[in-house]
A and B are shown apart, each in its own frame.
Chain A
């Protein structure tokens, strides 16, 4: 309990909000690092996932690779990359991108796979080109599952991004490593609380986003949808 009170005291200490190691700056660094990693992983995983989902090709390979990626220990990979490219941001970006690819890839292709085959077949039969099927049918209908993949990836990155401070001067991990070195447990716990709060905030945002991207017609057909129930009653 003492540790916790000390941590709260540390969080509210005004001196921790000034200078290059200010809490605000570290939070923004952490957030920026998380989002940029998410972008890197998405650029690789989303097109690949769409390709697999649309063509049905390479699914086995993707599942296997994603599983292998998942089992790679991030700290080990981070150290390995840092040893070859040196201290700096390259190693944490690379290691965490690898961590974030599997959930995004899975979200992208399962989103495509979950669509009723008859819907896609009909779209093709009435004269949509393959590109139009992807853009106008598969993409909008797969967004909820893709968003689920992004959400899960974000949560993993934001928690694991503390490791970035192991090889670079960035993010909330700084407080953990500094605290550990100086046996300053208030700072360590305070830093951890900040990571947790940031994770909860992002989780909340993605929960809302995930609901927002459900296409209206799809939501309308669900029995849980209040407004659909209303229109049915009104008829």
Chain B
């Protein structure tokens, strides 16, 4: 469990990145900090491993004030994954993953064996172990970054916009991988993003921030979506624009979900079943409409967040 107690961070130039921030991040759950640039989300994340020290207030991990801990030792016990992987360019993939365990005194041979297993865990082929980071694709580099974050078997995993720099298809793939890993490993994940859809997909607890590290709303994705605390939150999640209010429209090609702007958002799971809300309107021959026809719409919009009550 990570606890922020009225934490404030004022940078030397006078900018207040975070102001009186208090929050409990439950163990073995994913907490997503989401906000635009300047919302202090990265600063908050970096305070957990003391890359940034608060100006006032305190942060506790399982009841211990991290201000009293030695930063280097603290960081070695916390996984850290950043945008653009941050891998050491002059070290092979396997050595990048084994770096921190070896610093902590684990013998080289054991560290390398475990690093190979971690490549399996994050879904990378072992043949990539002897490549250098520059020889990998962006998505592969991010997977190595996650493997390195997991290398010391930390309880806490900090992820700073880890999927921000990869293309949408790879990002969706990595998001699913993270969900799978989290089901298997049950880490306390703190995830920073500016993408609300990503936040709703990955977060057990989502924290929406306004400028200056002020909490706009905390809750599960369903709570936030169903009851936005104010106009700011409603705008941020897209509820005010009707992006999240979907209705079913029948076409000759099949039934599709459409948002309030008229943008196609997706299809109902299970195809165009007549038992669905608007199914009665559907002509009998449309019942047999092959799912293939609905296929092209399946990837557009944000169906999982809009339709799934979670």
Contact = CB atoms under 8 A, between A and B. Distances in A.
A57 interface: no
B134 A122 contact: no
Interface in B88-102: 88-92, 99-100
Contact of B134 (A132, A136, A140, A218): A218
B143 interface: no
Contact of A124 (B51, B85, B148): B51
B135 A119 contact: no
B87 A122 contact: yes
B254 to A, nearest CB: 40
Contacts of B36: none
Interface residues of A, number: 26
Interface in A214-235: 215-218, 220-221, 228, 231-232
Interface stretch (B76-84, B111-119, B190-198, B296-304): B76-84
A215 B82 contact: no
Contacts of A48: none
Main secondary structure of the interface of A (DSSP, over half): helix
B75 interface: yes
A121 B84 CA distance: 12
B145 to A, nearest CB: 8
Nearest to A217: B132
Contact of A127 (B75, B88, B89): B75
A215 B87 CA distance: 14
A128 interface: yes
A83 B261 CA distance: 88
A218 B89 contact: yes
Contacts of A220: 132, 134-135
Contact of B80 (A125, A129, A137, A215): A125
Interface string A121-143: 11111111100100011001100
For chain B, which range describes its interface: under 10, 10 to 19, 20 to 34, or 35 or more residues?
Answer: 20 to 34
Contacts of A136: 88
A114 B29 CA distance: 39
B89 A221 contact: yes
A137 to B, nearest CB: 6
Contacts of B104: 127
Contacts of A18: none
Contact of A126 (B84, B100, B132): B100
Interface in A136-165: 136-137, 140-141
Given A118-B84, A118-B86, A217 B76 contact: no
Contacts of B84: 118
A208 B10 CA distance: 50
A137 B86 CA distance: 12
B228 interface: no
B67 to A, nearest CB: 17
6 pairs of A and B residues whose beta carbons are closest in the complex: A122-B86, A221-B134, A217-B132, A215-B90, A127-B76, A127-B75
20 contacts: A119-B86, A119-B87, A119-B88, A119-B89, A121-B82, A122-B82, A122-B85, A124-B51, A126-B100, A127-B73, A128-B72, A128-B99, A132-B103, A137-B88, A140-B90, A215-B89, A215-B90, A217-B133, A218-B90, A221-B132
Interface of B: 46, 49, 51, 72-77, 80, 82, 84-92, 99-100, 103-104, 131-135, 148-149
Interface of A: 116, 118-119, 121-129, 132, 136-137, 140-141, 215-218, 220-221, 228, 231-232
Given A126-B76, A127-B100, A217-B134, 18 more contacts: A121-B82, A121-B86, A122-B87, A123-B86, A124-B75, A125-B80, A126-B80, A127-B74, A127-B77, A127-B103, A127-B104, A128-B103, A132-B103, A136-B88, A141-B90, A217-B88, A217-B133, A220-B132
